[in-house]
Homo-oligomer: A and B are copies of this chain.
Amino acid sequence: MKRVKVGIVGLGRLGMDHAKNIAFNIPNAELTAACSISEEEVAYVQKHWSIPYGYTNYDDMLQNKEIDAIAIVSSSPEHCSQIEKALDAGYHVFSEKPLGTTVEECKIAEKAVERNPDKVFMLGFMRRYDPSYEYAKRKITEGAIGKPILVKATSIDPEDTIDGAIRFAESSGGLFIDMTVHDIDLARWFLESDVKNIYSIGGCYLHKEFAAYGDGDNVASLMHFENGAMAMFHSGRNAPHGYHVETEIVGTHGTLRIGSVPQKNEVMIFDSHGARKECVSGFPERFKAAYRLEVEEFIHCILEERKPSISVYDGTKATEVAFAATESFRQNTLVTLKAEEVL
């Protein structure tokens, strides 16, 4: 059995989850190297998981010729340059979302991908690999709901992580870029078209701290697509019940709804609060399987010499739309994307 040797960069919370999956939970992968600016993190991983190579300098890792692929889970502003370096050094590349923090950065990544057509590049819009989302897409492809005409998407972080969200506000890019971008990608995927017109509104309804960064704690957006389809988005920071990601795809002949109740598990509790389901605590719990499955798909793409369904352009386009949605929110204006802009 052939195994793909992976070097990972970034060992924060999500980086550790990816590293663990690569090391232990993906049959054809092995974690060969780990890189972080934190010596402790690298040492921890090497010691506890018996990882042969450790680096505190990304460029050093790219000298390691044993490695087949690089997984990038560093901070967002580093993504594009690390993608470019890794591809140009001959590695397959998986990068966490967002592709970049500006459209210009995204274009750098696009060019690197185009320069290295024999390499697999995959962007971590993990929701596409969640079993329920993947199932919905399959149903749609099979014609179960006719032609998709409207996506309604909700993404709300739990109130009990609000302190982190506020600390992260300055560098997050705002709700549209940090959160709605996932829903924009899903809408493009389900509707198979690009966004044309955008109107966004929102505000700081509970947590005024976001206002300083031109951000809101709840925002909403209505988008019209090139093919006439529609999408509505609501993103927020303060769900008291947990992490709420819900998506509905309305078709001409049926509707699919994913995650209507973001239940933690299959247990219903009947007590003095009524009949209730406890909810998932955050994205690591909700998308645990998706984070593993997306990397599994990346590994399979390498082994089978094929490209993943999600391309670098999907990253650029979702970013462009998220920026346009932010502009609409900040300027209180209808924003129209030029067709060439999104090509």
Contact = CB atoms under 8 A, between A and B. Distances in A.
B135 A264 contact: yes
A256 interface: yes
Contacts of A23: 27
Contact of A222 (B20, B201, B254, B279): B201
A182 to B, nearest CB: 16
B268 A256 contact: yes
Interface string A275-317: 1111100000000000000000000000000000000000000
A254 B279 CA distance: 13
Contact of A132 (B252, B265, B270): B265
Copies of the polypeptide in the assembly: 4
A263 B270 CA distance: 11
Contacts of A40: none
A199 B266 contact: no
Interface stretch (A91-99, A115-123, A163-171, A202-210): A202-210
A334 interface: yes
Interface residues of A, number: 77
A278 B274 contact: yes
Interface string A171-202: 00000000000000000000000000101011
Given A49-B1, A234-B150, A241 B205 contact: no
5 contacts: A139-B269, A201-B222, A205-B228, A220-B230, A240-B254
Interface of A: 1, 20, 23-27, 48-50, 131-132, 135-136, 139, 144-147, 149-150, 152, 197, 199, 201-203, 205-206, 218, 220-222, 224, 228, 230, 232, 234, 236, 238-242, 244, 250, 252-279, 332-334
